[in-house]
């Protein structure tokens, strides 16, 4: 086949004529994110996360076969943001609780979230109740995580050629369902293959899912993060005045606070430049001063959370949501797909330990009211920064804080991103 030349972002590239753009770009050192694209399948063109512009018109990159003279845009600010937005849509459409997901660390979608730098989603999470189907023989299908990319539909067949997966319904109700009869015919190897080609954690094989420990997973990047040397900061920035920090844990597990303490002796260093006001760390209950920065762990699950959060907004110049719960609800938001009534009845009235007619749903004017769902903090007050992770690493948190307090710019490298 003959080589042709085309342009990507103004740069001349060459590749074999008719090669898929994704591969062609790769050969020329340019990365285009993909999810549904799969080596030998015809372009599926379902996820749209590979959107590029061809001669000025937006198209799914994976559906382009390169030809002479093509003018392709990949990394313009508009396209970078658009692709990020598509991924964010996937996060809000499904229910992606990464910390409790078997695929976490091996998940292509999650990794693209890191690559594109998603700290929080601009879209509201939809929290639609979706089923996890464990009825098949070998496979469990978790609809919360399926992005309807169709890879499994095209790729997974029984030995006698039957499809195992197929889309059902349409519109917002579309989902990818499994055929029990055909699934039963799959060999273990075929089932594992299905799990592997799924770019998310939607397809799991019973007894096969927790195979790798943290750190060994496909997308675990092991970069030791060093604390920023304070001496450097001190010289250039620090005036005599210490910066004042407040922290709180709303609807979280205190894990983020534990993580904050995880810098060990580094905390002494920190005390040289910052002073803590209201915080569980100091046990100061009320703001006694206006603060420079407020760190919020956890989202809002009751009216008290909202009051505290609003108080923080009033008393802090900069507010940071720390961790997944603060950013979008996190694990407590698992209840968001169920009506509140069901949750409360299940825990207080119908639980194993509650005696009939003996228990009530706690309520008193002194105790806060439970909200109909868990809200992310940025839906209640303006949040200035988000630090993803469950929990974020200690150095990561303090580096962000120090950067914000003492430098104009702050950036954290994407490999430091974690949703679990």
Partner 1 sequence: MNRTGLLNKLWEFQNKFGYISENAIAQIAQKLNVSKIEIEGIVSFYHFLHRKPTGKYIIYLNNSIVSEFKGFEQIKAAFEKETGCTFGCYDENQLFTLFETSCIGLSDQEPAALINFFPFTNLTPEKVKTIIQQLKNGNSLRFISSNPTSKIQYIPADNKTVFYRKYEMGTALKKLKNHTPDDILNIISVANLEGRGGAFFPTAKKWKSCKEMESSKKYIICNADEGEPGTFKDKSLLNNLPGLMIEGMIISAYISGAAYGFIYLRAEYSYLLEKIENTLREFQANNLLGNDILGIPKFNFNIQVQLGAGAYVCGEESALIESLEGNRGEARIKKHFPTEYGYLGHSTIVNNVETFAMAARIIELGTNFISTIGTPESKGTKVLSISGDVAKPGIYEIEWGMTVKEILHLCQATSPHFVQISGPSGICINEIEFDRKICKEDLICAGSIMVFNNFRSITKILENYTKFFKEESCGICTPCRAGNQILHEKIKKIKKGICTAQDLEEIKEWGQIMKLTSRCGLGQFSANTLVMALDKFEGYFNQKIIKANESLNVEFDMEAAVCNYDSLIKDTQ
Residues 6+ apart with CB under 8 A from 339: none
* 148 contributes a contact to ligand SF4 by CB under 6 A: yes
* 36 contributes a contact to ligand FES by CB under 6 A: yes
* 89 contributes a contact to ligand SF4 by CB under 6 A: no
| Cα–Cα–Cα angle for 306, 311, 317, rounded to 5 degrees | 120
CB-side exposure of 138: number of CA atoms within 13 Å?
A: 18
Task: Write out the binding residues for ligand FES, residues 38-77 only, by CB under 6 A.
Answer: 45-50, 60-62
Q: Alpha-carbon distance 420 to 418, whole Å?
A: 5
* Interaction partner, residue 98 (ligand SF4, partner 1, ligand FES, none; CB < 5-8 Å by kind): ligand SF4
Residues 6+ apart with CB under 8 A from 346: none
- Which CB, 154 or 393, lies closer to partner 1? 154
* Interaction partner, residue 37 (partner 1, ligand SF4, ligand FES, none; CB < 5-8 Å by kind): ligand FES
Whether the CB-CB separation of 156 and 132 falls below 8 Å is answered with no
Least distance CB 318 / ligand SF4 (angstroms): 28
* 37 contributes a contact to ligand FES by CB under 6 A: yes
DSSP-based three-state secondary structure for 364: coil
Pairing, β 71-73 against β 57-60: unpaired
* 386 contributes a contact to ligand FES by CB under 6 A: no
* Interaction partner, residue 10 (partner 1, ligand FES, ligand SF4, none; CB < 5-8 Å by kind): none
Task: Write out the binding residues for ligand SF4, residues 158-177 only, by CB under 6 A.
Answer: 165, 176
Residues pairing with 291 in the sheet: 316
* Interaction partner, residue 303 (ligand SF4, ligand FES, partner 1, none; CB < 5-8 Å by kind): partner 1
* 405 contributes a contact to ligand SF4 by CB under 6 A: no
Residue 10 gets the label, from left (phi > 0), alpha (psi -120 to 50) or beta, of left
Closest residue by Cα to residue 288 from 279, 296, 280: 279
Residue 249 corresponds to which tokens in the numbers above?
């844990």
- Which CB, 36 or 228, lies closer to ligand FES? 36
What single DSSP character describes residue 39? T
User: Among 11-19, 57-65, 130-138, 254-262, which window interacts with partner 1 (CB under 8 A)?
Assistant: 57-65
* 101 contributes a contact to partner 1 by CB under 8 A: no
* Interaction partner, residue 318 (partner 1, ligand FES, ligand SF4, none; CB < 5-8 Å by kind): none
Neighbours of 195 (CB within 10 A): 23
DSSP-based three-state secondary structure for 40: coil
| Among the listed residues 19, 109, 139, 319, the single contact to ligand SF4 using CB under 6 A | 109
User: Which residue in this structure is represented by tokens 């250039």?
Assistant: 236
* 181 contributes a contact to partner 1 by CB under 8 A: yes
* 41 contributes a contact to partner 1 by CB under 8 A: no
Q: Alpha-carbon distance 6 to 140, whole Å?
A: 44
Q: What is each CA distance from 241 to 147, 244, 273, in whole angstroms?
A: 50, 9, 8
- Which CB, 61 or 388, lies closer to ligand FES? 61
| Among the listed residues 202, 259, 305, 395, the single contact to ligand SF4 using CB under 6 A | 202
* 116 contributes a contact to ligand SF4 by CB under 6 A: no
Sign of CA dihedral 140, 141, 143, 144: positive
Q: Alpha-carbon distance 258 to 108, whole Å?
A: 29
Where on the chain is the footprint of ligand FES (CB under 6 A)? 34-37, 45-50, 60-62
What is the binding site for partner 1 (CB under 8 A)? 43, 45-49, 51, 58-60, 63, 82, 85-86, 89-90, 92-93, 122-124, 126, 147-148, 150, 161-174, 177-179, 181-182, 303, 306, 310, 313-314, 339-341, 344, 349, 360-361, 363, 369-373, 375, 378-382
Per CB under 6 A, residues contacting ligand SF4 are 96-98, 101, 103-104, 107, 109-110, 145-152, 165, 176, 198-203, 419
């Amino acid at each position: 086949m003959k080589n042709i030349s085309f342009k990507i972002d103004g740069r001349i590239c060459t590749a074999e004529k008719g090669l898929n753009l994704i591969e062609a770009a790769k050969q020329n050192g340019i990365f285009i994110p993909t999810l549904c694209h799969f080596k030998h399948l015809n372009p599926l063109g379902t996820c749209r996360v590979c959107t590029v512009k061809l001669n000025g018109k937006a198209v799914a990159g994976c559906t382009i076969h390169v030809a002479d003279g093509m003018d392709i845009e990949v990394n313009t600010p508009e396209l970078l943001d658009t692709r990020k937005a598509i991924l964010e849509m996937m996060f809000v459409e499904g229910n992606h609780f990464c910390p409790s997901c078997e695929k976490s660390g091996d998940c292509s979608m999650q990794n693209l979230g890191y690559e594109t730098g998603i700290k929080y989603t601009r879209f509201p999470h939809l929290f639609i109740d979706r089923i996890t189907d464990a009825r098949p023989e070998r496979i469990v299908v978790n609809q919360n995580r399926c992005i309807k990319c169709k890879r499994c539909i095209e790729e997974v067949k029984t030995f006698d050629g039957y499809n195992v997966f197929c889309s059902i319904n349409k519109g917002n109700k579309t989902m990818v369902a499994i055929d029990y009869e055909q699934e039963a015919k799959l060999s273990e190897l075929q089932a594992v293959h299905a799990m592997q080609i799924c770019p998310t954690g939607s397809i799991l094989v019973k007894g096969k899912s927790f195979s790798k420990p943290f750190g060994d997973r496909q997308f675990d990047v092991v970069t030791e993060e060093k604390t920023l040397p304070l001496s450097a900061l001190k010289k250039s920035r620090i005036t005599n005045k210490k910066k004042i920090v407040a922290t709180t844990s709303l609807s979280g597990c205190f894990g983020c606070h534990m993580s904050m303490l995880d810098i060990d002796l580094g905390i002494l260093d920190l005390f040289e430049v910052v002073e803590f006001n209201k915080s569980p760390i100091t046990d100061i209950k009320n703001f006694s001063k206006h603060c420079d920065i407020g760190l919020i762990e956890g989202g809002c699950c009751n009216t008290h959370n909202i009051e505290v959060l609003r108080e923080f907004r009033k008393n802090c110049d900069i507010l940071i949501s720390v961790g997944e719960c603060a950013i979008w609800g996190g694990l407590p938001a698992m209840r968001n797909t169920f009506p509140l009534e069901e949750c409360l009845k299940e825990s207080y009235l119908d639980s194993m330990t509650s005696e009939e007619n003996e228990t009530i749903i706690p309520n008193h004017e002194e105790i806060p009211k439970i909200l109909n769902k868990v809200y992310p903090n940025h839906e209640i007050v303006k949040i200035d920064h988000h630090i993803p992770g469950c929990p974020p690493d200690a150095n990561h948190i303090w580096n962000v804080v120090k950067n914000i307090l003492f430098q104009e710019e702050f950036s954290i490298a994407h490999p430091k991103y974690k949703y679990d």
